[in-house]
Structure 1
Amino acid sequence: MSTLPAYEAAMLPPGLRARLIPGINGLTMHVLEAGEPGRPCLLLLHGFPELAWSWRKVMPALAAAGYHVVAPDQRGYGRTTGWSADYDGDLAPFRMLNLVRDQLGLVAALGYGHVEAVIGHDFGSPVAAWCALIRPDIFRRVALMSAPFAGPPDLPEEDPNRQPAPDIHAALAALPRPRKHYQWYYSERGADENMWRCPQGVHAFLRAYYHVKSADWPANRPFHLAGWTAEALAQMPTYYIMDRDRGMAETVAPEMPGAEAIAACRWLPERDLAVYAAEYGRTGFQGGLNWYRCRTTGRFEAEAQVFAGRTIDVPSLFIAGASDWGIEQVPGALRRMRELACTRMSGVHLIPGAGHWVQQEQPERVAELLLAWLG
């Protein structure tokens, strides 16, 4: 993958700057920064399908409070290079422990012995959680956003009489309206092509995708699900539990907002969306999709079980949109995070007027909560 220059200053909000940092665990990492180097550092980790760009609205407020704020394009994304988009390539570089290794390398390259907090959104949330779980000496606090962390997987040897879980995929496919889980769809060979080469184009696809998972989509009214069963999961919107014979591009297309709604969307105006569309139009989505493949194949489960029973013991915080189904997509995960996985969680905040893209939809409130927590 060819190396592109960092974002030009003209495309960045005031107070932000961009640069490339080579030699980080095999990557040349593209990062956005705000605030002066040498100040206490905050590390911000994005999710899918986003970029460091997703933090553009909260970074200035955090920097104004005295922090050096750093947000990388993570492995598989944007202008960070050194990774392969080959579906048949090695998945190991995208496994969770190596994603943590990427962030350790970035902290070292920045010249810090530790960061004040690591803050992760969506798939960046488990990366942040694992950073704090494994290296609490370096990642002194952790804020998780939109995706609860239920802890490391258990050792199966602790319950040798446990029965195998029912095949949730067969059960979903057998529903009267046959369905499939989006994470396993994202693991299929054709998922990247479906979204990258969709008839409506990447810009329109992302507009519909971001819209349908935001508070702007009135059907986003999450509630607790009874359990990990096909009948319970099928109560979620189709961007999570998809129709069996549709790809994601076809799933979100009917919810494409009209011109008036797009013009009224202050949290993601067309000029901001164009940055996402240009980057994903160039790279495709496979880099981020490989993270899902690491999870769904189970290939690295035993490695994660090394940390079975270990808790996050640094100060922690959880923030999500009140209209975000992500907090309920794994039944019981929110409770496990609060009661078991995080021993020093100071609060769970569900922000009205925000869906899944909470730091973009309600950046002022997110920055306020983070700064109050940081003290």
Structure 2
Amino acid sequence: MGGIEHRMVSVNGITMHIAEKGPKEGPVVLLLHGFPDLWYTWRHQITGLSSLGYRAIAPDLRGYGDTDSPESFSEYTCLNVVGDLVALMDSVAGDQEKVFLVAHDWGAIIGWFICWFRPDKIKGFVCLSVPYRPRHPKVKPLQGFKAVFGDDYYICRFQEPGKIEGEIASAGPRRVLRNIFTGRALGPPILPKEKPFGENPNPNSEDIELPEWFSKEDLEFYVSKFEKAGFTGGLNYYRAMDLNWELTAPWTGAKIHVPVKFITGDFDTVYTTPGIKEYIHGGGFAADVPNLKEIVVIEDAGHFVNQEKPQEVTAHINDFFTKLQNNN
């Protein structure tokens, strides 16, 4: 794609695949994907940001795509993944002491952890979809999710190793990925135990209606990678959530002090989950992130806002990072 270079790097005991483009001396922008995603989610931003003089770098995170996928979920804690990315920053940043960070979905959660653990590494953070939520001092994540959303909430359904993988295999990775990327269901994602991915159309049908922003070629790229690597690596991030809660007890009450811009789509499943809009716009988010500079809600965009509205998102990223550079 458009001069994007690919290479493998050794970080934190694993081999990681990265995609990159842009002048070697340009300010580094690290782009982190979520679930079920890949470096590919940033294809438009890699091209757009590199044309503006940035060095854009998008890895396949641990467990995804062409990056190593350790077997146990205990190797997918925030400490493991942040360790990967700090080592990656050290490898690619050269003389730059700090990098710009852009992240979506699980990448955003990892981005918040980086801002907790190593704020000295980050010039500014553009967070897509998932706002910062402080650690609850008494309630583990899974306990909280079950109490609020029930046992069929997607994160609860992801917990038993092998079970959801089997359901994905039965439904077919192509249909599951298509439904996730192009779905517009609002509110918390629920996966009923019967037909969790909906009715089963002909999985070989060529008559697939896809939105303008997500081509058949895009879908086939994702399918090829997930058929090869599987879904377990990505699911292990969810399976490590309670373990993350235990490991981060020293950061209870910690706030985020790096400069942050938050972007979401008005149809994003996270944004439309009960309580989230009130937190984002009602002062709670700004209290937990004192250096929150901007909140942007993009109209007619769902969860994958960076793919659905690529030029708009790239412009927002560049605008924020330009302001930060001009203020230094």
Name which one, 1 or 2, has greater alpha-carbon Rg. 1
- Where 1:326 maps in the other structure, the secondary structure is coil
Is the counterpart of residue 261 in structure 1 residue 209 in structure 2? yes
Q: Which of 151, 154, 166 is 1:193 aligned to? A: 166
Q: CA deviation at 1:321?
A: 1.0
Counterpart selection for 1:141 from 119, 124, 136:
124
Q: Contact 2:28–2:93 at 8 Å: present in 1 too?
A: no
Q: Is 1:204 the counterpart of 2:175 in the alignment?
A: yes
Match of 1:366 in 2: 313
1:241 matches 2:190: yes
Contact residue 265 and residue 303 of structure 2 kept, 8 A:
yes
CA contact (8 A) 1:208 1:252 kept: no
3-state SS of the aligned residue for 1:44? strand
What is the rounded CA distance, in whole Å, between the counterparts of 2:297 and 2:199 in structure 1? 25
- The equivalent position to 2:70 in structure 1, one of 65, 84, 94, is 84
Cα gap change, 1:313 to 1:77, in 2 (>3 Å): same
Pick one of 282, 291, 310 that aligns with 1:344.
291
Contact 2:89–2:99 (CA under 8 A) maintained in structure 1: no
Letter in 2 for 1:364: Q
After superposition, give the CA deviation of every residue in 1:324-344 in whole Å (9 maximum; x if it has no partner).
121243624535662222111
Partner-residue secondary structure (3-state), 1:120: strand
- More moved, 307-316 vs 110-119: 110-119
Distance across 2 between alignment mates of 1:171 and 1:123: 20
User: C-alpha displacement at 1:316, in angstroms?
Assistant: 0.3
- The residue aligned with 2:4 is 16
TM-score normalised over the length of structure 2? 0.87
Amino acid at match of 1:192: E
Note the alpha carbon deviations across 1:154-173, whole angstroms, 9 max, x for none: 444xxxxx9xx987637866
Counterpart of 2:103 in structure 1 is: 120
Cα distance per residue 1:123-181 (max 9 Å; x no partner): 10011111122211111211110111123x1444xxxxx9xx987637866xxxxx611
- Structure 1 partner of 2:325: none
Residues of 2 paired with 1:327 and 1:18: CA distance? 33
Q: 1:293 to 1:65 in 2, by over 3 A?
A: same
What is the CA distance between 1:301 and its match in structure 2? 1.6
1:373 aligned partner, one-letter code: F
The Cα shift of 1:198 comes to 2.3
SS of residue in 2 equivalent to 1:353: coil
Q: Tell me the distance in 2 between the aligned counterparts of 1:42 and 1:187.
A: 33
TM superposition shift of 1:241: 2.3
For the residue of structure 2 that corresponds to 1:192, the secondary structure is helix
Letter in 2 for 1:312: I
**RMSD across aligned C-alpha pairs, in angstroms?**
2.6
C-alpha separation in 2, matches of 1:70 and 1:337: 32
Measured after TM superposition, the shift of residue 345 of structure 1 is 1.1
Query: Would you say 1:61 and 2:48 are equivalent positions?
Result: yes
* Greater mean alpha carbon deviation, residues 331-340 or residues 300-309: 331-340
Deviates more, 1:99-108 or 1:132-141: 132-141
Q: Which amino acid aligns with 1:31?
A: I
Partner amino acid for 1:44?
L
1:147-162 aligned within 5 A: 147-151=130-134, 153-156=135-138
TM-score (norm 1): 0.77
